[in-house]
């Protein structure tokens, strides 16, 4: 709901009273001062300084509540460590470790004296050194244990600084929230006892538990380790394995057909790129770069292809591009129609979006586990893993591009009698083409980023050279192979991007 009432003095006073709830006279004066000129105006709110994060929580300023809570918790931790903390714990543990080692050396000295071993003098020198270290550690532990007042003073000083900052920033943050509330009445306003209670409870939990953990680390074992049971993970892992085994057994026909289709597509692309004479392939790629992006990109493409050929990366580079091409072709062929459907069906996109988030958030190595379990190792598995990793951008960008098509343009087309098919092919897709092509570009580059990872499951190509360089610490060969992958990425990027940049 947006406020459109003219902002007279009486109206503004009423708005301020309705917004702040409590302390109306004070906030009338403060807001009047702050509204005299844009920017920050110095005011002091002692109630906010006293209550700290509770004040921000009660006012609905939860982001500020969190920041102030973290800062004040640091101050309370220092005070707690000074009041009842075990300050010499770490040094005392070190002294106990030294004492244990010293006792072992003394036993060795006694045994050496009985046997007349030649190492007796060395053992005595080691024992003397340990005795000095033990004395220093014990003294340092006692000194640290007596330094509680320092922690208290530091904590109090830090708390005073935080309170001062809160005092001079509180009204400024509240006035900003008031400005937002005037145009959107759903913004939190007033002083809420419920919000204050929640803020108080959260502050108590954070401050008390944090102070106890840092002041007395050994007092509450529950604060040091999360309560768990290793058998739970084993049982869940066995259940997941059982699901994998059942899916693999009952879906064997599907996975065999998928593998056959991937291999057939990959073999067809490799015939074009690998078995075709290299001058023909190079000439076609250079001409494609010239037609798509101009002479400069064509010259760069020729130089990059010369690098691949002269350093014996040609065949592996073409194998890599074939694997990438198969994965990208499938991703684009499936991704753009799915993006179009999601753009026209928001509820479907609400279901698809978490799946895309999962696909992009999951580490790339994890993709290899189910892929190898269901498909096995080799190039088809590399294509599937690459496809999963590279598909989300083209879907997201297709949805974004279609959502950004001006509604006025679509309404005008419909007013002139455009059919849904005409509207899609002649209006929506042309206007969204730039964004969709950006998604295609990202899909291709992300697919190429999986080259090295896919080599772990038997996908040949340039990733294999990088993997071997890592295994045998061959830095020079690894850099050369990495540059070959980089040149492949740059060539594809410039050809797909074309002259639009």
Confidence label for 196 from pLDDT (cuts 50, 70 and 90):
very high
- Rounded Cα distance between 106 and 121, Å, is 12
Q: What percentage of the chain reaches a pLDDT higher than 70?
A: 97
The percent of the chain in helix, strand and coil, each rounded to the nearest 5, is 80, 0, 20
Instruction: Read off the pTM.
Output: 0.69
- The long-range contacts involving 296-303, CB below 8 angstroms and separated by at least 24 positions, are 297/494, 297/495, 300/490, 300/491, 300/494, 301/491, 301/494, 301/495
Mean pLDDT across 90-114: 80
218 has a pLDDT exceeding 80? no
Question: From CA 414, how far away is CA 381, in angstroms rounded?
Answer: 46
Is pLDDT at 67 greater than 60 in this prediction? yes
**Tokens representing 418?**
């455009």
- Which of these, 349, 344, 367, lies nearest to 421 by C-alpha position? 344
Q: Looking at the domain that runs over 248-497, which CATH code has it been given?
A: 1.10.3720.10
Is the pLDDT assigned to residue 2 strictly greater than 60?
no
365 pLDDT more than 70 = yes
Band of residue 156 on the pLDDT scale cut at 50, 70, 90: very high
Structural tokens at position 473: 């610490």
Quick check: 56 pLDDT over 80? yes
**233 token code pair:** 């993970």
Q: Give residue-wise pLDDT tens across range 322-332.
A: 888 888 888 88
With CA atoms as reference, report the closest residue to 321 among 491, 75, 194: 491
CA angle centred on 195, ends 191 and 199, rounded to 5°: 120
* Helix H or strand E encompassing 247: helix 230-250
CB 340 within 8 A of CB 398: yes
Residue 380: both structure tokens together: 């088809």
Q: Is the pLDDT of residue 90 over 80?
A: no
The string of pLDDT tens digits covering residues 434-474 is 899 888 888 888 887 777 777 777 777 788 888 888 778 78
Summarize pLDDT for 36-45 with one digit per residue, the tens. 777 778 889 9
Rounded to 5°, the CA angle 155-156-159 comes to 85
Residue with tokens 């530091």: 154
Task: Report residue 201 as tokens.
Answer: 């409870």
Sign of the CA dihedral running 346, 351, 355, 357: positive
Interval 472-495: pLDDT, tens: 878 888 889 888 888 888 888 888
Determine contact, residues 202/66, Cβ cutoff 8 Å.
Answer: no
The pLDDT value recorded for residue 148 is 79
Output the CA angle 22-23-28, nearest 5 degrees.
Answer: 120
What is the DSSP secondary structure assignment for residue 412, as one 8-state letter?
A: H
Average pLDDT value over all residues in the chain:
85
Per-residue pLDDT at 171:
92
Largest CA distance in the chain: 110
Question: Which of 34-38, 116-120, 341-345 comes out lowest in average pLDDT?
Answer: 116-120
Q: Is the pLDDT assigned to residue 204 strictly greater than 80?
A: yes
């Amino acid at each position: 709901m947006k406020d459109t009432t003219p902002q007279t003095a009486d109206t503004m006073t009423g708005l301020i009273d309705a917004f702040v709830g409590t302390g109306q006279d004070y906030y009338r004066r403060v807001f009047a001062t702050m509204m005299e000129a844009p920017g920050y105006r110095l005011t002091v709110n002692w109630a906010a300084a006293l209550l700290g994060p509770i004040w921000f929580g009660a006012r609905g300023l939860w982001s500020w509540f969190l920041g102030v809570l973290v800062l004040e918790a640091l101050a309370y931790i220092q005070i707690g460590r000074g009041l009842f903390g075990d300050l010499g714990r770490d040094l005392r543990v070190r002294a106990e470790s030294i004492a244990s080692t010293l006792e072992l050396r003394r036993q060795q000295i006694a045994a050496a004296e009985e046997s007349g071993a030649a190492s007796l003098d060395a053992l005595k020198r080691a024992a003397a050194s340990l005795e000095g270290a033990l004395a220093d550690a014990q003294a340092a532990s006692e000194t640290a244990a007596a330094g509680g007042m320092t922690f208290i003073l530091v904590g109090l000083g830090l708390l005073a600084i935080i309170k001062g900052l809160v005092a001079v920033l509180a009204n400024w943050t509240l006035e900003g929230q008031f400005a937002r509330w005037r145009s959107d009445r759903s913004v939190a306003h007033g002083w809420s006892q419920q919000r204050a209670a929640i803020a108080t409870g959260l502050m108590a939990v954070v401050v008390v538990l944090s102070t106890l953990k840092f002041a007395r680390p050994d007092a509450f074992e529950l604060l040091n380790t999360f309560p768990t049971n290793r058998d739970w993970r084993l049982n869940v892992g066995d259940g997941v394995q059982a699901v994998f085994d059942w899916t693999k057994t009952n879906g064997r026909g599907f996975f065999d057909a998928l593998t056959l289709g991937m291999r057939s597509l990959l073999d067809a692309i490799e015939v074009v790129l690998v078995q075709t004479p290299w001058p023909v392939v190079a000439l076609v790629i250079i001409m494609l770069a010239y037609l798509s992006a101009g002479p400069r990109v064509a010259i760069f493409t020729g130089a990059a292809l010369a690098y691949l050929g002269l350093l014996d990366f040609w065949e592996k580079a073409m194998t890599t591009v074939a694997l990438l091409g198969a994965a990208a072709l499938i991703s684009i062929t499936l991704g753009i129609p799915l993006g179009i459907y999601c753009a026209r069906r928001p509820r479907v996109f609400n279901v698809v979006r978490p799946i895309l988030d999962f696909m992009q958030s999951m580490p790339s190595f994890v993709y290899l586990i189910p892929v190898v379990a269901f498909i096995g190792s080799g190039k088809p598995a590399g294509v599937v893993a690459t496809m999963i990793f590279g598909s989300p951008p083209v879907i997201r960008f297709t949805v974004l591009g279609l959502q950004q098509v001006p509604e006025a343009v679509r309404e005008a087309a419909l007013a002139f009698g455009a059919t849904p098919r005409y509207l899609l092919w002649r209006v929506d897709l042309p206007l969204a083409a730039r964004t969709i092509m950006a998604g295609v570009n990202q899909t291709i580059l992300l697919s190429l980023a999986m080259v090295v990872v896919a080599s772990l499951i038997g996908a040949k190509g340039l990733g294999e050279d990088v993997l071997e360089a890592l295994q045998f610490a061959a830095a020079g060969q690894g850099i050369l192979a990495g540059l070959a992958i980089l040149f492949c990425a740059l060539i594809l990027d410039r050809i797909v991007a074309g002259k639009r940049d």
